[in-house]
Amino acid sequence: MARLRTAKLATDPGAAFSYHNTNYQVAARLVEVVSGRPFSTYLDAHVFEPLGMRHSMTVDTDRDLPGSARGYLYVLGQAVALPEPTGFGNGSGGVLSTANDMARWLIAQNTGLPSLLSPQAIREMRTPSKPNDEYALGWEIGKTERGTPVLEHGGDLFTSTAHQLLIPDSGYGIAVMANTGMVYSDAHALMTGIVAIIEGGTPQLPSTQSLVLTDALFALLTLATIGLAARGSVRARQWAGRHARWQLWRLTPYLIPLTLCVTIVPIHRMLARGRDAGWIQLAYLYPTFMLWLVTAAAAGLTVAAARLWSAARLRRR
């Protein structure tokens, strides 16, 4: 007989605010259960078709992305094209759209959604919750630098970002999609510049100097690590001669990078306060750091193995 499991809520409904993609994925599944239809089919019939969004769809995983969906990472200031790493996004970030379709979506948001939602439901969507006065149902409540009230929400994958913003008082709507990953927030930076133009200001170009310097630092560390590993391996016999007795504890420091490499996922989860990411996803987030870490792990193992081998040969003599 199958055993039933019961779920326990972390807090009472309405008592706390916690933003998490899984919440929206559960909401999408609830739509499927109640309607008896796949979430993608439901969106087509009740959102995309009524608004004329003929080139929009929602997908489950990275495997459903079209072949042309290739985003970029910046490495040393250079764009590197990479496929999106494995992940599930339907309900939370799986909508694929175009600039024209997003314009239709934002126009409908400003002029009303009679075919989708009642005026009362729209007001509810834009009313923040009691635990968090800056977040409503899918909309962040904020202001521009000049104090103009706005509704906005951003989304990001590891190789692309998007941001949408409404200025209800003026009727402006902005949607920006960029094919660079979440580390760089290009979509948000572009949107901020467009808002500045709308309000008669001058957009400020974001600086990438710190990112380039960080990449350069880890690139140099990677080269230095390779050089030190080669030196340590060549001089392994000398090391073994000085340590005739097997003092294995002396090799322990060389295994620290490997240990960090193996445990980087839980360490990141702790530092990010519970936000999870797989190993390959961390490589997309911090490419030069992860390259150095893998290089350091391999270098440490190489030096340790070379010294153990040399020590073993000396003992056999």
pTM value > 0.75:
yes
Residue 2 is predicted with a pLDDT of: 47
For the record, the structure tokens of 134 come out as 């800056």
Residues in the chain, pLDDT under 50: 1-2
Predicted pLDDT of residue 1: 42
For domain 21-198, give the CATH number.
3.40.710.10
Query: CA–CA separation, 80 vs 38, rounded Å?
Result: 35
Strand (E) or helix (H) holding 283: helix 279-285
For the chain, the domains span: 21-198, 209-316
61 alpha carbon, distance to own chain's centre: 14
AA identity, residue 298: A
pLDDT the model gives residue 169:
87
Q: What pLDDT shows up at residue 43?
A: 93
pLDDT tens string 228-277: 999 988 888 887 777 656 566 778 888 999 999 999 999 988 888 777 78
Distance set, CA 309 to CA 52, 203, 243, 272 (Å)? 70, 61, 13, 40
Residue 244 is predicted with a pLDDT of: 55
